[in-house]
Amino acid sequence: MKNILFPLVTIVAVLLFSCSNNDNEPTPTSKAAISGSVILYDEGTTLLDKSNMNVKVLETTPLIQTTTTTEGKFVLPEVPFGTYTLEYSKAGFGSYKKTGVVHGTNGQATAISTIPSLGQLSTTTVTNVTAAVLNNQVKLSITTNPAGNTANRRYVRYFLSTSSQVSATNYTYFSAVFVAQINPFEKTITQTELLSAGFTSGQQVYVRAYGDSFWDNAYDDPAISKRIFPNLNGTTVAATSFVVP
């Protein structure tokens, strides 16, 4: 009888020990924090207070969001692991989005190392745009209000398309941000630049210009395969056109 009881007691002890160990094992985590920081500017290059910028994790329910500290830092707590888009917004600033944020690699928190420099909305309006072709080049002239000068630099950007409805959301080509320190601001577009942008000689191209900020808060939207320009001043004039030399 003793020989029978001993194996049974041993088996029960092993099972109890195994269950006890399983109970003590930590449950794998499925959430962690996302942290980062921002640097804020006016529409030029002057640093501003970095606090109170709202940062939210889009498409979370309930919405996970927080605000930046005076140092521009933020922590979004308890974010389920996944891939997200973060939206940064503050009154007076164009909203910026950081897409494709992969969170939870190796089951750990995510620290965003890239620090975005974000600017305020542009107060520069465009009041006139002309385009003249001369010697295989297009001379673009953009008049702004306020007028740009060395003491009050303004920033402009233009968009090109074969559509007369060219705009900041309907374009084939967009320029860099240019510093306007004279009014009107003038930019020469070469034939080579136009051909490289996908246009052809003899084609009618429309141009529209906007006031912008030095830090433009621009980002790529994969949903529409377009670059978005949140800081543009929408007050501008109708598009003008030229024929590609």
Q: pLDDT of 93-129, one tens digit each? A: 999 999 999 998 888 999 999 999 999 999 999 999 9
pLDDT band at 29 (very low <50, low <70, confident <90, very high): confident
Mean of the per-residue pLDDT values for the chain? 91
Its sign, for the CA torsion 194, 199, 205, 210, is negative
217 has a pLDDT exceeding 60 = yes
Show the 3-state SS of 68-125. CCCCCEEEEEEEECEEEEEEEECCCECCEEEEEEEECHHHCCEECCCCCEECECCCCE
Kindly report the pTM of this predicted structure.
0.86
Residue 26 has a pLDDT of 58
Tens of pLDDT, residues 159-183 = 999 999 999 999 999 999 999 999 9
| Exposure of 83 in the CB half-sphere (CA atoms within 13 A) | 3
In this predicted structure, what is the pLDDT of residue 153?
A: 97
Residue 161 and residue 172 in contact, taking contact as beta carbons nearer than 8 Å:
yes
